[in-house]
């Protein structure tokens, strides 16, 4: 499935691969690599509320700000919450980034090997083989409760809307 001009980068249209996911749907299981090169999946996070952020690369200013903000805010909301950032960065780069920036409350997963997450969540950018910027909030029963696909790749997500949706899901 290709969605042409689904997002832009500096005004130029980009094509997203994979089906668009919508709130209310069952979250698809996916396989990525964690920072220690071990397979990680949605199934590993069962029974928890999940905030999953897909980003192009942690080594960009907008992604840097985004992971730091969620490290500070979202991770404080509940012990039953897990926050995951997924990018095409190599696990080694993700590990270094987290160590250098004192990111301790967020798991980082790399989708570089198979793009399984990118395809199953409809955020793989065809022209770049990077992931689009998006926020997915998944409840304890693995149902998607909130999806925010950021229309302009170089723009940040709407933090206020995402955090409000996250608080609502945690309450239920």
Tens-place pLDDT, residues 28-69: 999 999 999 999 999 999 999 999 999 999 999 999 999 999
Active site residue 32: no
| pTM of the predicted structure, to 2 decimals | 0.95
DSSP reduced 3-state for 87: strand
| Catalytic residue of the set 63, 106, 119, 131 | 63
Whole-number pLDDT of residue 162: 95
Whole-number pLDDT of residue 73: 86
Indicate which CATH number applies to the domain containing 55: 3.40.30.10
Q: What is the DSSP letter of 30?
A: -
The domain total for the chain is 1
pLDDT tens-digit map of 73-122:
876 888 889 999 999 999 999 999 999 999 989 999 999 999 999 999 99
Q: Count Cβ atoms within 10 A of the Cβ of residue 162 and give its class: 0-12 exposed, 13-18 middle, 19 or more buried.
A: buried
Give the whole-angstrom CA distance, residue 125 versus residue 111: 12
């Amino acid at each position: 499935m290709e969605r042409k001009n689904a997002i832009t980068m500096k005004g130029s249209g980009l094509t997203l691969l994979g089906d668009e996911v919508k709130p209310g749907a069952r979250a698809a299981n996916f396989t990525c690599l964690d920072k220690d090169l071990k397979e990680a999946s949605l199934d590993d996070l069962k029974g928890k509320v999940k905030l999953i952020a897909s980003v192009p690369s942690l080594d960009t200013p907008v992604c840097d700000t985004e992971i730091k903000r969620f490290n500070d805010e979202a991770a404080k909301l509940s012990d039953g919450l897990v926050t995951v950032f997924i990018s095409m960065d190599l696990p080694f780069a993700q590990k270094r980034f987290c160590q250098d920036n004192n990111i301790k409350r967020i798991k980082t997963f790399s989708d570089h090997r198979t793009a399984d997450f990118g395809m199953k969540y409809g955020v793989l950018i065809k022209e770049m083989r990077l992931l689009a910027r998006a926020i997915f909030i998944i409840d304890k029963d693995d149902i998607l409760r909130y999806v925010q696909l950021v229309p302009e790749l170089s723009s940040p997500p709407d933090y206020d809307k995402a955090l409000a949706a996250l608080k609502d899901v945690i309450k239920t």
